[in-house]
């Protein structure tokens, strides 16, 4: 039985685009975050008119043209696979604007949504401007590409990050949560995980759980799955032999990433 927090790939044609994943506020318990993954053949296009949401258009794989008003971002994207482990290009578009994405090659495009709190300029987030971070030690090492971190004011509510975790390691670990609008101690950010595995037959374990265990789901997550994190801790464990990739979308009432570690496991940070 697949957890209610886990979404398997859709693979549904909609116009010229194949919808691979779609988790929207209207069909989930999320109130801030939305996520759509589309696949475009060369020359195929996808158009959208944003209303209340802003959107980060991530050139996940392949190359695309993005047009928004007078802005034309041609031939963006840096990788054939997310496991090229290179940062990629993205475009930020504020609410109330329309955009078009066209495939230059076979392309997968992640559309990351959250409330447009205020209008902001349409902006190309170049791969070379994406900060890379090595986090963790022992068996919780991972590499993070900060596409839209809270230190970057290009977006009004949206946070987007991608994470690579090698086999035998945990990420989003020690388990942390950000489900209380209680700054400066903790912020409330909903989150989605879009997962890929290399090789593709792999799986990772992800647990989403709360302190009182009123929510406690442990999932075997496969290539192309999305995991929804409305609340709770959300660690990921990667079996030996496999590499994990996930793209996170986060948003909430405050655009601040301030998490709270599970006190039962925070001790691991104190090891020398």
Stretch (H or E) spanning 171: strand 170-171
Distance CA 194, CA 249 (A): 9
Q: Judged by CB, which is closer to ligand LJL3ZJ5K: 76, or 82?
A: 82
CB of 228 to ligand LJL3ZJ5K, least distance (A): 13
Q: Judged by CB, which is closer to ligand LJL3ZJ5K: 63, or 142?
A: 142
CB of 101 to ligand LJL3ZJ5K, least distance (A): 24
CB of 17 to ligand LJL3ZJ5K, least distance (A): 27
CB of 171 to ligand LJL3ZJ5K, least distance (A): 3
Distance CA 92, CA 214 (A): 36
Between strands 53-61 and 107-115, the pairing is antiparallel
CB of 162 to ligand LJL3ZJ5K, least distance (A): 8
Q: Judged by CB, which is closer to ligand LJL3ZJ5K: 97, or 145?
A: 145
The token pair at 97 is 């604007």
CB of 150 to ligand LJL3ZJ5K, least distance (A): 11
Q: Judged by CB, which is closer to ligand LJL3ZJ5K: 243, or 248?
A: 248
Comparing every residue's Cβ against ligand LJL3ZJ5K, the nearest one is 171
Q: How many of the other CB atoms lie within 10 Å of CB of 228? A: 22
The token pair at 4 is 């209610």
Distance CA 235, CA 209 (A): 9
Residues 150, 100 contacting (CB under 8 angstroms) = no
Q: Judged by CB, which is closer to ligand LJL3ZJ5K: 157, or 172?
A: 172
Q: How many of the other CB atoms lie within 10 Å of CB of 218? A: 13
Distance CA 247, CA 195 (A): 7
Q: Judged by CB, which is closer to ligand LJL3ZJ5K: 205, or 259?
A: 259
The dihedrals phi and psi of 206, each to the nearest 5 degrees, come to -130, 130
Q: Judged by CB, which is closer to ligand LJL3ZJ5K: 127, or 189?
A: 189
Distance CA 5, CA 217 (A): 8
The token pair at 126 is 């170049």
Q: Which residues bind ligand LJL3ZJ5K (CB under 6 A)?
A: 135, 142, 144, 161, 163, 171-172, 234, 248, 259
CB of 118 to ligand LJL3ZJ5K, least distance (A): 24
């Amino acid at each position: 039985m697949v957890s209610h927090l886990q979404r398997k790939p859709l693979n549904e044609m909609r116009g010229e685009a194949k919808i691979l994943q779609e988790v929207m506020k209207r069909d989930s318990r999320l109130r801030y975050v939305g996520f759509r993954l589309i696949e475009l053949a060369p020359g195929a296009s996808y158009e959208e008119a944003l209303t209340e949401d802003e959107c980060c258009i991530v050139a996940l794989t392949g190359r695309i043209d993005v047009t928004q008003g007078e802005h034309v971002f041609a031939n963006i994207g840096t990788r054939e696979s997310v496991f090229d482990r290179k940062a990629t290009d993205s475009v930020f578009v504020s609410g109330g604007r329309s955009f078009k994405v066209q495939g230059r090659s076979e392309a997968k495009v992640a559309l990351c949504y959250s409330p447009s709190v205020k209008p902001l300029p349409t902006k190309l987030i170049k791969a070379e401007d994406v900060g890379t971070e090595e986090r963790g030690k022992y068996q919780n090492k991972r590499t993070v590409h900060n596409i839209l971190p809270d230190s970057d004011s290009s977006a009004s509510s949206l946070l987007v990050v991608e994470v690579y975790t090698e086999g035998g390691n945990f990420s989003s670990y020690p388990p942390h949560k950000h489900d209380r609008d209680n700054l400066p101690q903790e912020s409330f950010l909903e989150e989605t995980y879009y997962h890929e595995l290399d090789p593709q037959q792999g799986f990772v374990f992800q647990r989403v759980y709360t302190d009182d265990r009123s929510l406690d789901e442990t999932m075997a997550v496969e290539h192309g799955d999305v995991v929804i994190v409305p609340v709770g801790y959300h660690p990921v464990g990667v079996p030996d032999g496999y590499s994990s990739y996930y793209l996170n979308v986060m948003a909430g009432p405050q655009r601040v990433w301030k998490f709270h570690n599970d006190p039962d496991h925070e001790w691991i940070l104190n090891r020398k």
